[in-house]
Amino acid sequence: MTTQTAGRRVVTNMALSLDGHYAGHDPRDMGWVMPYAVTDVARDHLTSLWEPATTALLGRVNAEGFLGFWPTVIGMEGADPRDEAFAKWLVDTDKVVLSSTLGEAPWERTTIVDQPAAQVVADLKATDGGDILVLSSASVIKALLAADAVDRLALTVFPVFLGGGPRLFEDGLPAGEWTLVSQAAGDHGTLSLVYDRVR
């Protein structure tokens, strides 16, 4: 058994509440994330994920949110250098957006694909490059977990109960082992965890 896969890795990143939700009853309200997302441990966690990645994989909704906000951080007065570096990476890297409704990409260096997530990552893994980073797109991550196509699972756990809302891990996922490769605790009890799939 090994925790490393040859070639490109599929790395997924998601923030979770302590009671296991990635969003509350109103999925558009991400206010619960903000006090924790700006901690050193959360920023360093994200930096460790994007630095080895050469492709960002997003669902349409997350692409609109991420690519609407992050480019505005570049050159923003008082911006944390880690936030600005991530913003520059996101603008400059190759992006693949999964969508059945977008006809063309309104963002540079972006390809729109209307195919199952597992097929898209299989095609990407057949090409040269670094990690394929799935950024907080729950529908994409769920599909990849269901297909056992995730090589590295990165989670940031925030010490808050949302009391309801959608969950990342649902019954019916393929059984499998994961090994903890890094962990860090930070301000306000924020915890970053990175697991590699044992194959």
Digit-by-digit pLDDT tens for the chain (199 residues) are 544 446 899 999 999 999 999 999 887 788 898 888 888 999 999 999 999 999 999 999 889 988 989 999 999 999 999 999 999 999 999 999 999 998 888 889 999 999 999 999 999 999 999 999 999 999 999 999 999 999 999 999 999 999 999 999 999 999 999 999 999 998 889 999 999 999 9
Cβ 63 vs Cβ 140: under 8 Å: no
**Torsion angle defined by CA atoms of residues 11, 167, 43 and 90, in that order, rounded to the nearest 10 degrees:** 50
- φ and ψ at residue 20, rounded to 5 degrees: 90, 15
For the chain, how long is the longest CA-to-CA vector?
48
Q: Which CATH number fits domain 10-197: 3.40.50.300, 3.40.430.10, 3.40.50.1820, 3.40.50.620?
A: 3.40.430.10
Residue boundaries of the structural domains of the chain: 10-197
**For residues 161 and 83, what is the distance between their CA atoms, to the nearest angstrom?**
26
pLDDT at residue number 75 = 94
pLDDT at residue number 104 = 86
pLDDT at residue number 6 = 60
Tokens (6 digits) for 90: 């996101």
Tokens (6 digits) for 53: 């990645």
**For residues 104 and 111, what is the distance between their CA atoms, to the nearest angstrom?**
8
CB atoms near residue 13 (< 10 Å): 22
pTM of the model: 0.93
